[in-house]
């Protein structure tokens, strides 16, 4: 049944039911998070470490390669700076991927 054939009252009821389901899902997830004490401080620090290293490693590799190129083949452009920016971008994309994957795992376990 399409939304265009619903009366205003039915449309409001449908929206209210969808909102109630969404709130129920979020509340269930919140309660599960409060009761699940497996993930403590060390787990949180470990996750931050993974995210941090996923940004730092590409940045350092890009900078090192850029410095090597600048020493080996001097030019008027700074390869170190360009590859530093590229490394930060790649690292942020990598961190986004890990956070997205962790979020999907959390939602999947619900």
Q: Which of 87, 80, 81 is nearest to 65 (CA)?
A: 80
Which residues does 69 contact at the CB level (< 8 Å), separation at least 6?
Answer: 79, 80, 83
- Encode pLDDT of 26-77 as tens digits: 888 788 777 766 666 777 777 778 888 889 999 999 999 999 999 999 999 9
Tell whether the model's pLDDT for residue 110 goes beyond 80. Answer: no
Q: Please state the pTM of the whole predicted model.
A: 0.60
């Amino acid at each position: 049944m399409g939304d265009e054939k619903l009366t205003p009252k039915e449309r409001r009821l449908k929206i209210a039911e969808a909102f109630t389901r969404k709130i129920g899902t979020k509340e269930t997830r919140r309660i599960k998070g409060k009761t699940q004490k497996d993930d403590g401080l060390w787990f949180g620090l470990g996750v931050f470490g993974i995210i941090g290293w996923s940004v730092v490693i590409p940045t350092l590799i890009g900078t090192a390669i850029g410095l090597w190129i600048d020493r080996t083949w001097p030019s008027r452009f700074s390869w170190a700076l360009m590859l530093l920016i590229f490394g930060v971008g790649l690292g942020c994309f990598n961190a986004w991927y890990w956070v997205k994957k962790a979020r999907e795992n959390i939602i999947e376990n619900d």
